Amino acid sequence: MSERRVAPDWVKAARSQWANSSRPAGIVKPGPGQESVWDYPRPPRLERVHKRVRVQFGGRDIADTLRAMRVCETASPATYYVPPEDVAMDRLAPLSRGSLCEWKGEASYFDVHAGGKCAPAAAWCYAKPFEEFEEIAGWLAFMPGAMDACYVGDARVQAQPGGFYGGWITPDLTGPFKGEPGTGHW
């Protein structure tokens, strides 16, 4: 078993700057069977998904699983992660580009290719995440706005607003959502 990856002190200092944001005006109160992104925690929480998760692009199923996990964080729709065994890995081309999440660690990106189409940097994973997110090490997430369609159960998801975030808006989710105009401070 590999050594646990603990967040360095400078990352812990960055984390301490974030807390659950105060609720802005316009939050939609969730109805029966709904959940609000404003009830998601910060730091984020990892949860098992008990529905089928699918990603389609270029006329192909890029991912199809009954074993997905999701990361829930205040103000953002959940981001869904799929084990690599349930992803058409031959459709992903690794990039040298990366980024850092103060909660999960260093991300690696992939272009997605299928049906003569390319979605640049539309998938990512955390090969060696910080210890709180070890369970999704190497699992893939997809930008739903860059794919042809993404589903949770039978529900087709909408992409989180803005070009940076990879959240999946499902019909049972209420906002407002981080990424909409005027939400940069969330």
Q: Where are the beta strands (DSSP E) in 40-184?
A: 45-48, 53-57, 60-65, 69-73, 76-81, 92-101, 105-114, 117-125, 140-142, 149-152, 155-156, 158-159, 168-169, 173-174
Domain that includes residue 162, residue range: 39-174
* CATH number for position 81: 2.170.150.40
User: What are the Cα distances from residue 24, in Å, to 21, 38, 66, 93, 186?
Assistant: 8, 9, 35, 40, 9
Q: 7 lies in a domain?
A: no
C-beta separation of 175 from 28 below 8 A: yes
Q: 184 lies in a domain?
A: no
Q: 17 lies in a domain?
A: no
Q: 63 lies in a domain?
A: yes
Q: 186 lies in a domain?
A: no
Q: Which two tokens stand for residue 143?
A: 């930008």
User: How many angstroms separate the CA atoms of 128 and 5, rounded?
Assistant: 7
Q: 22 lies in a domain?
A: no
> Is this model's pTM higher than 0.75 or not?
yes
CB-based contacts of 98, cutoff 8 Å, min separation 6: 106, 107, 108, 109
Output the tens digit of pLDDT for each of the chain's 186 residues: 456 677 667 666 665 666 555 677 778 889 999 999 999 988 899 999 999 999 999 999 999 999 999 999 989 999 999 999 999 999 999 999 888 888 899 999 999 999 999 999 999 999 999 999 999 999 999 999 999 999 999 999 999 998 778 999 999 999 999 888 877 766
Q: 122 lies in a domain?
A: yes
What is the total count of domains within the chain? 1
Q: 46 lies in a domain?
A: yes
